[in-house]
């Protein structure tokens, strides 16, 4: 299942207030040639209706600032459409082919539709395929959610 990382999906959570939410997770990037890099302990920040995923060493940040979101049961599913990479002092847009972000804003573990996979409270699951053929995935848990 392909699931994308998105930050703009928090626009859909009008009943949830986020204050500099922080999280940790694991990101995985697979290049078109099959080379894979895994980034443990990435930092996930949610601020100003955007999601920032920063590598542990702080050298790169993936920013998702816009997404179309809908509620599926108690889960939120978002389709991000504005993703940029902030790295080496510059920002460059990521041309996406497809992507999905799942978020569990509830206080209980939730099962993803048509899957046995579950997201814990505050869980984030993301998958993106770029037009260049790179796959980006993330699995983590958001903190500081306040209803």
Higher pLDDT, 97 or 143: 97
Question: Which residue, 95, 96, 93, 73, is CA-closest to 84?
Answer: 93
The string of pLDDT tens digits covering residues 50-92 is: 778 889 999 999 998 888 889 999 998 989 989 999 999 999 9
Question: Quick one: residue 8, left, alpha or beta (phi over 0 = left, psi -120 to 50 = alpha)?
Answer: alpha
- Residue 9 has a pLDDT of 35
- Residue 144 has a pLDDT of 46
Which helix H or strand E contains 115, and what residues bound it?
Answer: none
Which helix H or strand E contains 53, and what residues bound it?
Answer: strand 50-54
Under 8 Å between Cβ of 115 and 6:
no
5 vs 60: CA distance, rounded Å? 15
pLDDT confidence bin for 19, thresholds 50/70/90 = very low
pTM: 0.77
- Residue 16 has a pLDDT of 37
Domain limits of the chain? 8-146
The answer regarding whether domain 8-146 maps to CATH 2.30.29 reads: no
């Amino acid at each position: 299942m392909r699931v994308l990382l998105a930050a703009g999906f928090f626009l859909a959570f009008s009943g949830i207030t986020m204050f500099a939410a922080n999280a940790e997770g694991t990101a995985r990037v697979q290049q078109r040639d099959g080379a894979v890099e895994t980034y443990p302990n990435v930092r996930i920040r949610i601020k100003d209706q955007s999601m920032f995923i920063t590598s542990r060493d702080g050298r790169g940040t993936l920013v998702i600032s816009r997404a179309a979101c809908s509620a599926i049961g108690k889960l939120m599913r978002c389709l991000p459409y504005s993703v940029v990479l902030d790295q080496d002092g510059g920002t460059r847009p990521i041309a996406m082919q497809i992507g999905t972000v799942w978020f569990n804003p509830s206080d209980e573990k939730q099962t993803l539709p048509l899957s046995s996979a579950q997201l814990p409270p505050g869980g984030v699951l993301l998958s993106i395929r770029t037009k260049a053929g790179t796959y980006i995935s993330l699995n983590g848990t958001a903190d500081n959610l306040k209803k």
